Amino acid sequence: MLFNSTEFFIFFPVVVTLYFLTPFNRRWIILLLASYYFYMSWKPAYTIILVVSTLIDYTCGRMMGRYPDEEKPKRRPWLYLSLFANLGVLLLFKYYNFFNDSARDLALALDVPYAMPAFELLLPMGISFYTFQTMSYSIDVYHGRIRPERHLGVFALFVSFFPQLVAGPIERAGNLLGQLHQGHEFKYERVVAGLRRMGWGFFKKIVIADNLAMMVNAVYNNPTEYDGISHIIATVFFAFQIYCDFSGYSDIAIGAAQVMGFNLMENFRSPYFSKSISEFWNRWHISLSTWFRDYLYIPLGGNRVVKWRWYYNLFITFLVSGLWHGANWTFMVWGALHGFYLVFAIVTAKQRNALASKVGLTQRPQLYKWVQVLTVFFLVCFSWIFFRANNIADAFYIIGQSASVLTNPSQLLALDWSHAVFMDQGFKIFAVSILAILLMETVHLIQRNGSVSQLIMQRPAWVRWSVYYMAIIAVLLFGQFGHQEFIYFQF
Amino acid sequence: MTKSIQDKGVRKLLRKLTLLALPFILWPLIEVFVLPMNFFTFRIWETISVNSMRVMSGPFYPNVHMQMVEEGELAPRTPYAQKREVEWYTDAYGYRNRDTKNDVLLIGDSNITGAKLSQDETLASVLEQHLHRPVYSFAPATVNRFLATDRFEEVPPKLVIVSSIERRIPELPAVGENGINSELRDFTGNIISSSPALTYLAVTADRISKLGLYRRTLADMERVAGKREYINYNNEFFMEGDYANRELSEEEVNRIADVLEGYRDVLQERGIEFVFLPIPNKENIYYKLLPSQKQATFLPRLMDKLQERGVAYVDLQPTFKTLYQQKQVPLYPTDDAHWNEVAVKVAANILAKHATVAQLQATPEQKEDRLLVNFRESE
């Protein structure tokens, strides 16, 4: 079930009503049934994987709990079983064909016989998210950071909690499991805040992301039909599309959980205002980047190793992050690029500071900050080309065409606006997208010094209600209601 | 009820959510119960066509009589729009007829329904005057809907004319395709038609779902600032432009001939004569206005195939071309892709002379009352 579907607009109020009508100690049943229904409405058969994954991790957790924290060797087989099961499922459904095709290509190039079969498997929705969530649970239990969950129903709910089941945030057991045992009172202010958060998420998704998607898809699915200026605009638009799509999903997930009394972790904090790539990763998809930090980067040694090893750890972490996003070389290049950015930033830190000082940027902090923000945005956009392109060849074509604008700016003078700038989608979609992005970034800027929500709440009732009605009408008029899937569903 | 739900905040929340939703609930009701039915529409078609209740018998609301100044579908509410007053009647089944006598049944698309034509200008009406036999317009509909409709089994027509605009001919469904949908709709449609109260409820629910102001606003925005899709050459508007005159493969033409042969066979089994009436695209007849000036070859090729297979057809293309290209007689409105009243008269004239159709004139009209239901005003 999609959040931006009619079904969800019926499903959610029904679940919330039943949830609050049910006694505290039985609410997990309502949420578990709702979560499984939510997942089954996509493809019922794949719920089996969710159930099996849940049972294995629950059993492994309980078995590890039988041994005291200091007897880790006795816990280890159960940890390995959990990791093997989760990674095995992930490997089979998400990566088998990728590695198999790559091996076949290599064998063909080397003229070596190759006979491994290819499987026609549909990627189970949300598998990358819930397997990572359960793996973190098993690892935390193994290290003794959390106690194993005794209640199978609550544990199943932890794995399948519908607001964040298919696209995160990837919750930690330490944060969510405890909340699933608590009783949450109906609190007007919290419910309204949750609904407002959901509304903001819907706005980002339906108005910004889905309008931008029309232009981005037109260019990226037919790159040879557009010239450099279209490629540049489409890439910048994609940066905002994927941000609004994914952070919109997170807002809806966090808001929906908040309505019912649960606090999910923040997943985005205005990432495009970052002054460095490492800051970007502290603000973008926080639940995933902290997962990789805690369960891959630090176990590899983090930065408490010799320099070359530190760079290696960083690079590998981002390469794996790229692979996590998709079984495609484009994602690998995207991850490798970010790994390279981070290593390059560390290696050249002194020289860059010296250069900034030499040109006088350090004397003008505000300007320096915006130069940094724009530089990071440019680097991130460059990497998005690989993330969005349908294949590596398309990515290089788009880069080449984009670069040609710089070498031949005269092509800007002979623009067919509807084709080049509006990408054949018309002025309305272009204008709505630009205005909506400006509105969103204005909200982000205001929220650095206070809450927009609070700002609205302080106004007289007629102003507040006018804002609400205008917001609803704007979404109805300018939103795209084609039930576009969220981009992160494919991961 | 648990303690948590007894919080007065619940009532406050529900009150505010209701207040928030109220205008969006009230406005459609105002549209349906206060404003004229065609307040936000530019054609009767959109005004009375069934929007989302796919359980009703026909494509339009039943028992409607309406007059309206319409604009063409290709540039509505623009300076290019040509206004024209038209009158519509729909029967108790929601088709555009004054009654349901059906010696001759016309199955077809919006051309047969008569977009931008008044009731007496539709092909069914004009042909009726030629034949002096009742002609029933069963459009827009397909042969499969006809086969699944009980009333045509009970009182079958003598002749079925299947018509299609040239561009839609490749989409004509083979006999049996989606037949289950037609049977279901016939079943539910009969239930809804059996009770005036049910009909009223179904129509009202459908009208509420139309959201006229919302759609009109979206259309206005799209026209002013959106993606312009009007194809305009020399101040004539077209639906597809050059694409309409593209070449179809031999396999495709054969497949279409198979479909039409299937229509003939299934109707023959029921003792019903069959004639196929293709309507040339505006692009076909006005091809000299298109950038490529390419002539369409599809219809002559299809006619040859039908000739080989002994499938009866009426070829309008040569006459239409002569009239437009040599005598400069407009056969399509400037702002619309459907044929005009002149083209309908010409088509009816040619159709009436076709041997299969003409023999109906020779047989005396049966005296028994074949009227299934008469038009009646709903008010």
Which of B21, B2, B14 has the alpha carbon at shortest distance from A18? Answer: B2
Q: How confident is the model at residue B369 (pLDDT cuts 50, 70, 90)?
A: very low
Q: What is the pLDDT of residue B159?
A: 95
Tell me whether residues B4 and A184 touch, CB distance under 8 A.
yes
Kindly list the residues from chain B whose CB atom is less than 8 angstroms away from the CB atom of residue A428: 221-222, 224-227
Whether pLDDT at A321 is above 50: yes
How near does any CA of chain B get to the CA of A280, in Å?
A: 35
How near does any CA of chain A get to the CA of B23, in Å?
A: 9
Q: Is the dihedral of CA B369, B375, B377, B378 positive or negative?
A: positive
Q: What is the pLDDT of residue B234?
A: 86
Whether pLDDT at B4 is above 70: no
Tell me whether residues A192 and B13 touch, CB distance under 8 A.
yes
Whether pLDDT at B377 is above 60: no
Q: What is the pLDDT of residue A490?
A: 62
Q: What is the pLDDT of residue A373?
A: 94
Residue B61, C-beta contacts closer than 8 angstroms, at least 6 positions apart? B48, B50, B90, B94, B203, B206
What is the H or E stretch that residue B137 is in? strand B135-138
pLDDT single digits (tens) B188-242: 988 998 889 999 999 999 999 999 999 999 988 888 888 777 888 988 999 999 9
- Lookup: tokens for A347: 């290696």
Q: How confident is the model at residue A332 (pLDDT cuts 50, 70, 90)?
A: very high
Tell me whether residues B226 and A186 touch, CB distance under 8 A.
no
Strand order in the sheet with B159-165: B135-138, B104-107, B159-165, B273-279
Cβ-based neighbour number of residue A32 at 10 Å: 20
Q: Touching check for A481 and chain B: CB below 8 Å?
A: no
Q: Touching check for A187 and chain B: CB below 8 Å?
A: yes
Kindly list the residues from chain B whose CB atom is less than 8 angstroms away from the CB atom of residue A465: 19
Residue A303, C-beta contacts closer than 8 angstroms, at least 6 positions apart? A310, A313
Kindly list the residues from chain B whose CB atom is less than 8 angstroms away from the CB atom of residue A214: none
The residue-averaged pLDDT of A389-395 equals 93
Tell me whether residues A477 and B217 touch, CB distance under 8 A.
yes
In a mutagenesis test of the A interface, which of B4, B7, B230 is the best target, namely the one with the most A β-carbons within 10 Å? B4
pLDDT single digits (tens) B268-301: 999 999 999 999 999 999 999 999 999 999 999 9
Measured between CB atoms, which of B2, B13, B225 is closest to A431?
Answer: B225
* In the block, residue with structure tokens 């998420």: A201
pLDDT single digits (tens) B147-160: 999 889 888 999 99
Q: What is the pLDDT of residue A372?
A: 93
How near does any CA of chain A get to the CA of B27, in Å?
A: 13
Which of B53, B54, B142, B48 has the alpha carbon at shortest distance from B96? Answer: B48
Q: Which CATH number do you get for residue B201?
A: 3.40.50.1110
Query: Which range (A102-111, A135-144, A159-168, A335-344) has the least confidence?
Result: A102-111
Query: Strand, helix or coil at B163?
Result: strand
Tell me whether residues B227 and A425 touch, CB distance under 8 A.
yes
Whether pLDDT at B373 is above 60: no
Question: Is the residue at B322 inside a domain?
Answer: yes
The residue-averaged pLDDT of A16-41 equals 92
Q: What is the pLDDT of residue B117?
A: 96
Whether pLDDT at A426 is above 90: no
CA distance B177 to B172: 10
DSSP-derived secondary structure for B228-297: ---EEETTEEESSGGGGGPPPPHHHHHHHHHHHHHHHHHHHHTT-EEEEEEE--HHHHTGGGSSS-PPP-
Whether pLDDT at A411 is above 90: no
Whether pLDDT at B363 is above 80: no
Q: Are B205 and B42 in contact (CB under 8 A)?
A: no
How near does any CA of chain B get to the CA of A23, in Å?
A: 6
Tell me whether residues A426 and B225 touch, CB distance under 8 A.
yes
The residue-averaged pLDDT of A339-368 equals 89
- Lookup: tokens for B45: 């078609």
Cβ under 8 Å to B: A residues 416-445 = 418, 422, 424-429, 431
- What residue of B is the nearest CA neighbor of A25? B2
Whether pLDDT at B374 is above 50: no
Q: Touching check for A461 and chain B: CB below 8 Å?
A: no
A–B CB contacts, 8 A cutoff, strictly below: 65
Calculate the alpha carbon distances from B190 to B94, B103, B146, B187 in Å. Answer: 12, 22, 14, 5
Q: What is the pLDDT of residue A107?
A: 83
Q: How confident is the model at residue B379 (pLDDT cuts 50, 70, 90)?
A: very low
Q: Which residues of A are catalytic?
A: 325
Could you tell me what percent of chain B has a pLDDT over 90?
71
Which of A235, A230, A240, A265 has the alpha carbon at shortest distance from A250? Answer: A265
Tell me whether residues A20 and B4 touch, CB distance under 8 A.
yes
Distance separating the N- and C-terminal Cα atoms of chain B? 48
More confident position, A449 or B44: B44
DSSP B122: S
Whether pLDDT at A82 is above 60: yes
Whether pLDDT at B266 is above 90: yes
Q: How confident is the model at residue B180 (pLDDT cuts 50, 70, 90)?
A: confident
pLDDT single digits (tens) B58-78: 999 999 999 999 999 998 888
Tell me whether residues B12 and A427 touch, CB distance under 8 A.
no
Whether pLDDT at B6 is above 60: no
Question: Is the residue at B26 inside a domain?
Answer: no
DSSP B348: H
- Lookup: tokens for A124: 């189970």
Exposure class string for A105-121: b at 16+ Cβ within 10 A, else e: eeeeeeeeeeeeeeeee
Whether pLDDT at A246 is above 50: yes
Q: What is the pLDDT of residue B227?
A: 79
* In the block, residue with structure tokens 């041994």: A67
Q: Touching check for A25 and chain B: CB below 8 Å?
A: no
How near does any CA of chain B get to the CA of A469, in Å?
A: 7
Question: Is the residue at B25 inside a domain?
Answer: no
The residue-averaged pLDDT of A183-194 equals 89
CA distance B83 to B156: 38
Q: How confident is the model at residue A444 (pLDDT cuts 50, 70, 90)?
A: confident
More confident position, A405 or B125: B125
Question: Is the residue at B308 inside a domain?
Answer: yes
Kindly list the residues from chain B whose CB atom is less than 8 angstroms away from the CB atom of residue A427: 225-226
How near does any CA of chain B get to the CA of A424, in Å?
A: 7
pLDDT single digits (tens) A146-180: 999 999 999 999 999 999 988 878 999 988 998 99
The residue-averaged pLDDT of A314-338 equals 91
Tell me whether residues B2 and A21 touch, CB distance under 8 A.
yes
The residue-averaged pLDDT of A55-69 equals 91
Question: Is the residue at B24 inside a domain?
Answer: no
What is the H or E stretch that residue B84 is in? strand B84-89
pLDDT single digits (tens) A276-300: 999 999 999 999 999 999 999 999 9
CA distance B305 to B276: 13
Q: Touching check for A9 and chain B: CB below 8 Å?
A: no
CA distance A252 to A3: 8
Cβ-based neighbour number of residue B84 at 10 Å: 18
Q: Touching check for A475 and chain B: CB below 8 Å?
A: no
Residue A337, C-beta contacts closer than 8 angstroms, at least 6 positions apart? A382, A383, A386
Q: Are A274 and A376 in contact (CB under 8 A)?
A: yes
Whether pLDDT at A86 is above 80: yes
How near does any CA of chain A get to the CA of B1, in Å?
A: 6
Q: Are A18 and A120 in contact (CB under 8 A)?
A: no
Question: Is the residue at B13 inside a domain?
Answer: no
CA distance B192 to B52: 15
Measured between CB atoms, which of B20, B23, B226 is closest to A428?
Answer: B226
Amino acid at site B128: E
Kindly list the residues from chain A whose CB atom is less than 8 angstroms away from the CB atom of residue B228: 418, 426
Q: How confident is the model at residue B367 (pLDDT cuts 50, 70, 90)?
A: very low
Domain count, chain B: 1
Kindly list the residues from chain A whose CB atom is less than 8 angstroms away from the CB atom of residue B214: 476-477
Could you tell me what percent of chain B has a pLDDT over 70?
93
B115 lies in which domain range?
Answer: 44-362
Query: Which range (A77-81, A146-150, A164-168, B308-312) has the least confidence?
Result: A164-168
Question: Is the residue at B39 inside a domain?
Answer: no
pLDDT single digits (tens) A467-483: 899 989 999 999 988 76
* In the block, residue with structure tokens 């890439």: A235
CA distance A86 to A295: 14
Question: Is the residue at B195 inside a domain?
Answer: yes
Q: Touching check for A13 and chain B: CB below 8 Å?
A: no
CA distance B9 to B4: 10
Q: How confident is the model at residue B372 (pLDDT cuts 50, 70, 90)?
A: very low
